[in-house]
Structure 1
Amino acid sequence: MTKEFAVPPVIFPSGGSPVAPGASNMQQRRVPTAPFQPPRPSNSGIPFMSFDMGPATTASFGPIGVGGPALSSSANFDDEEPLLDELGIHPDQIWRKTKSILNPFRVNPAFYKDSDLSGPIFLYLSLCLFQLLAGKIQFGVILGWIVVSSIFLYIVFNMLAGRNGNLDLHTCTSVVGYCLLPVVIFSAVSLFVPQGGPVRFVVAGVFVVWATRACTNLMVAVADGGEEHRGLIAYACFLIYTLFSLLVIF
């Protein structure tokens, strides 16, 4: 009785040489390639990549001239506003308002009709910097007092003015922040004044009166209904800037 043995057939690849049955699967296995890549040509080892320049790609460029491709009108930045104007920061306006505070007898209220907060933030950072040079880290305290003082003066003014008052919180915060300039100057001067003695309190009183007068004149001029209550408004402003001066003294 004869036995039949299952002999695998011999596979001849395209080269023409016989291959062993166990090695046929290894040579016919394809090398994995990256996705979205074209197949390699058989006569070259360098992959060929084609780029389809459709109408959507060439639509953003203008005609090709001597200097190269010209961008379309959508990429023209000549008509764009400066970055500071887009952020609402006007250095010339901040300088005019700050220079107006330097003379407490001639404060120009016309500059403060258009209120902003960029100048008060700059004065706030300046006061914090001088306090830091004096060895006091009071960033959060000064910011909290500015917010509380603005809300306090806003409530006091509108209660005194009644229906005639047209002061908003944004304008009040701007005025309180700009009138902080004398306190900032006092914090810079206090770095060179001895710690003890009455000289420090006398200098602080001068700068507090300066800031109080400037803030009172601006509050009465910017908003309506505060002329007849000038004394009470001045008292509220005096309390506010006395608190800031106490931060500098102690």
Structure 2
Amino acid sequence: MAKQFSVPPVVFPSGGNPGTGAQQRRLPTAPFQPPRSANPSIPFMSFDMSSAAASTSFSNPQFAGSSGSSVGIGGAFEDEPPLLEELGINTKQIWNKTVSIMNPFRVKVDLHEDADLSGPFLFLMAFGLFQLLAGKLHFGIILGWVTVASLFLYVVFNMLAGRNGNLDLYRCLSLIGYCLLPIVILSAVSLFLPQGGVAIFAMAGVFVIWSTWVCTRLLVELASCGDEHRGLIAYACFLIYMLFSLLVIF
């Protein structure tokens, strides 16, 4: 015989049996919403669209401060210097220095009192570009030789001037870079001349003397105790620019 077990009756929380009474279904509730039995008098649970639109206006924002704050901000931007001046690049000064180098007999020494590296960097890049058009990749060589040449001229000048020498490395690098302009012109002209010809050797000699003359005069005028050793300084400058002319010739 099968053994019978007594099953206790199921009691629902609603108090009624679903089989005998009406079924009570809970309506789904939207997420992040309070239950329907919550008290609607709580302020953050009752939201009135009309009152919110009246209290909050996004069409005319109000900022703290005076009404002319926007004008002040615009004026502040207008007073800002150009980006090139903030980076220390003065295009007018570079142009004036370049024009002064073009005339070796009327070099304006006062323009080179403020040393900069923007103009020399442009000349070095132009020199490397003309060499690249000639089929020679010399960017690294040019930058390396300029650095070594500046150190060489700096050491030679300060050894000649002794304790009275006031030539710093920054000014020396600026002067060598600006006086490299004739060699840059030589590299541009050499694109239309036959390699190894007499014409290119003659032009190289003229442009090397041009660069040597200008660089020697600037060093003597801008640095103290340079007039006494003009010949030795000119010889050092001649070696530097002769070295750069060899890149163009060969």
**What TM-score, normalized to structure 1?**
0.78
SS in 1 for 2:191: coil
What's the offset of the Cα at 1:203? Answer: 1.3
- 2: CA distance between counterparts of 1:42 and 1:84? 56
Q: CA deviation at 1:31?
A: 3.1
Match of 1:5 in 2: 9
> How many angstroms apart in 2 are the aligned matches of 1:246 and 1:17?
104
Instruction: Specify the alignment match of 1:110 in structure 2.
Output: 110
1:66 is aligned to none
Following the alignment from structure 2 to structure 1, what is the Cα–Cα distance between the partners of residues 46 and 246? 83
Aligned pair count?
223
Q: Does 1:59 align with 2:64?
A: yes
The one-letter code of the counterpart of 2:107 is V
Does 2:152 align with 1:152? yes
Partner amino acid for 1:9?
P
Contact 2:167 2:223 survives alignment (8 Å): yes
Task: Indicate how the Cα distance of structure 1 residues 3 and 164 shifts in structure 2: closer, same or farther if over 3 A, else same.
Answer: closer
- The 5 Å alignment of 1:127-138 reads 127-138=127-138
> 1:205 matched to which residue of 2?
205
Residue 41 (structure 1) shift: 7.6
C-alpha separation between the residues in 1 aligned to 2:179 and 2:234? 13
The equivalent residue for 1:100 is: 100
Q: Contact 2:183 / 2:241 at 8 angstroms: preserved in 1?
A: yes
Instruction: Report the secondary structure of 2:137's partner residue.
Output: coil
1:7, distance to aligned residue in structure 2 (A): 3.9
The change in CA–CA distance for 1:4 and 1:52 in structure 2 (over 3 A counts) is farther
Shift of 1:6: 2.4
User: Which amino acid in the other structure matches residue 6 of structure 1?
Assistant: V
Shift of residue 199 of structure 1? 2.1
Q: How does 1:178-197 map to 2 (within 5 A)?
A: 178-197=178-197
Structure whose alpha-carbon radius of gyration is higher: 2
Alignment of 1:73 with 2:72, yes or no, is yes
For 2:37, the equivalent position in structure 1 comes to none
Structure 1 or 2: larger helix share? Answer: 2
Deviations 1:132-186 (A, max 9, x none): 2112222111111111111111111000011221111111111001000000000
One-letter amino acid matched to 2:63: T
Q: Which residue of 2 aligns with 1:18?
A: 24
Of 106-115 and 229-238, the range deviating more from structure 2: 106-115
Asked if the contact 2:101/2:179 (under 8 Å) is kept, the reply is yes
Deviation at 1:32, TM superposition (A): 6.5
Per the alignment, residue 222 of structure 2 pairs with 222
Task: Work out the CA distance in 2 between the residues paired with 1:179 and 1:221.
Answer: 15
Q: Distance in 2 between matches of 1:109 and 1:181?
A: 16
1:156/1:32 CA distance change after superposition, 3 Å:
farther
Q: Do the aligned partners of residues 206 and 41 (structure 1) sit closer, same or farther apart at CA in structure 2, a change above 3 Å counting?
A: farther
Query: Percentage identity across aligned positions?
Result: 55
| 1:96 CA displacement | 1.3
Matched residues in 2 for 1:194 and 1:51: separation?
Answer: 80
Inter-CA distance 160–27: structure 2 relative to 1 (3 Å threshold): same
Structure 1: where are the runs of 5+ without partners?
Answer: 34-38, 64-68
- Distance in 2 between residues matched to 1:235 and 1:116, nearest whole Å: 24
1:36 alignment partner in structure 2: none
Amino acid aligned to 1:120: P
Please list the CA deviations of residues 94-148 of structure 1 after superposition, one character each: whole Å capped at 9, or x if unmatched: 1111111111122121111111111111111111111121122221111111111
Between 69-78 and 175-184, report the one with greater CA deviation: 69-78
Following superposition, the deviation at residue 2 of structure 1 comes to 5.4
